[in-house]
Amino acid sequence: MKPLFKISVIVIFLSGTAIYLPSCKNEATPPIVITTIVSDITKTTASTGGTVTSDGGSEIIVFGVCWSTSPNPTTSSNKTSNVTGSGSFTSNMTGLTANTKYYVRAYATNSTGTSYGNEVTFTTNDINKAATAPTLTTTVVTSITETSAVSGGNITDDGGGDITARGVCWSASPDPYFHSEGITTDGSGADLFVSYLSGLDPGTTYYIKAYAVNSIDIAYGNQESFSTPDLINGSVSDIDGNIYKIIQIGTQTWMAENLKTTRYNDGSNIPNVTGDGEWMDLTTGAYCWYNNQETTYKNTYGALYNWYSVNTGKLCPTGWHVPSKDEWTILATYLGGVELAGGKLKESGTTHWQSPNTGATNTTRFTALPGGVRDVSSDFGGFFLRFGSNGFWWSSNPGIEPTDHSLWLDSNSSKFSFVPWWIYYNSGLSVRCLKD
């Protein structure tokens, strides 16, 4: 029998006197391991694993599962071998025989020896059973937001064949199928699974079905439906009586349209300046319509305002304000950063934006439009340009060179950019108001 501890001698010198003390060290013991239940059973494969609950005081050298058609399988039987990791592990058994009962045990080996977990049994599927399409149900949709949701499915019968793919598919029309507008791929195997839907449009009703694929066919679960919340959340009017839709994006509440008021919120008039030279020389607030054509541009694109009108603090309706650069930045960050935010703000398609309108999805319902600009950056300024290809919006920060303060969106990019070009106080830019 091995001793419970080893005895060694430690010599300590105190005041010239040698003192001899014994030292004790516990022996390592075999590890302790538990076998998990077998799952994902097919005709030739199955999945199991184990949990090493104690390493016995010595590093685990190898672990896995072993199996046999006879009870009490050992590592001399069929086995898997893992040499890295610890705690719980999963092992896949392959090369099994159909319609056969197997015995399985997890094992773990340290310097002392090999230990086995509890024994579990399972029977592989019958190869003689005629394979059919899988049977499954669709999970009720939960965690619904404006652009995402959670669903999934439960495969109750693999049809006698391996499940090679599974997930959910969805569409804005009833009866979605594998090649519908949206689909997830969520692994394989016949059991319960969870699916995460993304890229949805706000204010839209969707139809969804779980699907599963085996060697025979693709099968679908029952159809479920759900509706994403609409970002449009009421309206607000300016002092002229113009009504603007309101949208909620993250923690911010925005107008969903460009400002078109001709008066400050105290009732005083904002001068409408049409002449190029007069516009160039302004040192007070003013507005204009693109190309000085109110009928053509007002309702869709709003007005263009100079910095002096913004700086009054009275341009937006009471309770609203022109956003600061920091507030624009909060919006971009919420939308995934400057590389993507522009596309999520721009109206999709090419009805108003010039082709290619890169990355435009308008998932926010912000519906940014290319209203152009009234330029004063040259000696021949005061003229209109970039309509259809660019949109520019003021921030409430003063335009002092070389700081970038004004928002710029472009038809050839999905980026959200701040530009230093519009540092001139009498440039004419669009305005979008943010709730206080």
pLDDT tens by residue, 26-66: 588 999 999 988 887 888 888 899 999 888 888 999 999 99
Distance CA 204, CA 210 (A): 19
Residues 205 and 238 in one domain: no
Residues 222 and 239 in one domain: no
Residues 249 and 219 in one domain: no
Residues 393 and 294 in one domain: yes
* Residue type at position 74: T
Output the pLDDT for position 201: 82
- Per-residue model confidence as pLDDT tens digits over 75-126: 999 999 987 666 889 999 999 998 899 999 999 999 999 999 999 988 887 7
Q: Which of 166, 197, 227 is the last residue of a domain?
A: 227
- Give me 60's structure tokens: 């685990």
Name the strand (E) or helix (H) holding 337. Answer: none
Distance CA 179, CA 290 (A): 44
pLDDT of 282 higher than 50: yes
Output the pLDDT for position 317: 95
Distance CA 326, CA 86 (A): 47
Q: Which of 130-134, 310-314, 412-416 has the lowest mean pLDDT?
A: 130-134
Output the pLDDT for position 8: 37
Domain count, the chain: 3
221 lies in a domain? Answer: yes
Query: Residue 96 to residues 40, 69, 158, 165: CA-CA distances in angstroms?
Result: 13, 10, 18, 21
- What's the pLDDT band for 12 if we cut at 50, 70, 90? very low
Output the pLDDT for position 23: 40
DSSP classification of residue 290:
G
Higher pLDDT, 302 or 161: 302
17 lies in a domain? Answer: no
pLDDT of 261 higher than 90: yes
Domain of 92? 32-123
Find the CATH number of the domain harbouring 106: 2.60.40.10
Residues 284 and 421 in one domain: yes
Residues 265 and 167 in one domain: no
pLDDT of 264 higher than 80: yes
> How high does pLDDT run on average in the chain?
86
91 lies in a domain? Answer: yes
Residues 139 and 82 in one domain: no
332 lies in a domain? Answer: yes
Q: Which of 103, 123, 143 is the last residue of a domain?
A: 123
- Per-residue model confidence as pLDDT tens digits over 169-181: 999 999 998 777 7
Residues 6+ apart with CB under 8 A from 295: none
21 lies in a domain? Answer: no
* Percent of the chain whose pLDDT exceeds 70: 88
- Per-residue model confidence as pLDDT tens digits over 404-435: 678 899 999 999 888 765 556 788 999 999 99
CA angle 428, 333, 145 (to 5 degrees): 110
Residues 276 and 412 in one domain: yes
Query: Residue 117 to residues 93, 102, 319: CA-CA distances in angstroms?
Result: 17, 15, 68
Average pLDDT of span 276-301: 93
Residues 247 and 194 in one domain: no
Query: Residue 252 to residues 247, 249, 418: CA-CA distances in angstroms?
Result: 8, 5, 19
Burial category of 216 from C-beta neighbours within 10 Å (exposed 0-12, middle 13-18, buried 19 and up): middle
Residues 73 and 92 in one domain: yes
363 lies in a domain? Answer: yes
1 lies in a domain? Answer: no
* Percent of the chain whose pLDDT exceeds 90: 59
pLDDT of 275 higher than 70: yes
Residues 400 and 338 in one domain: yes
DSSP 188-254: -SSSEEEEEE-SPPTT-EEEEEEEEE-SS-EEE---EEEEPPPSEEEEEE-TT--EEEEEEETTEEE
- What's the pLDDT band for 129 if we cut at 50, 70, 90? low
Contact between 419 and 394 (Cβ < 8 Å): no
Residues 305 and 196 in one domain: no
Distance CA 351, CA 363 (A): 17
Contact between 388 and 370 (Cβ < 8 Å): yes
Q: Which of 209, 227, 245 is the last residue of a domain?
A: 227
Average pLDDT of span 147-163: 89
Output the pLDDT for position 383: 82
9 lies in a domain? Answer: no
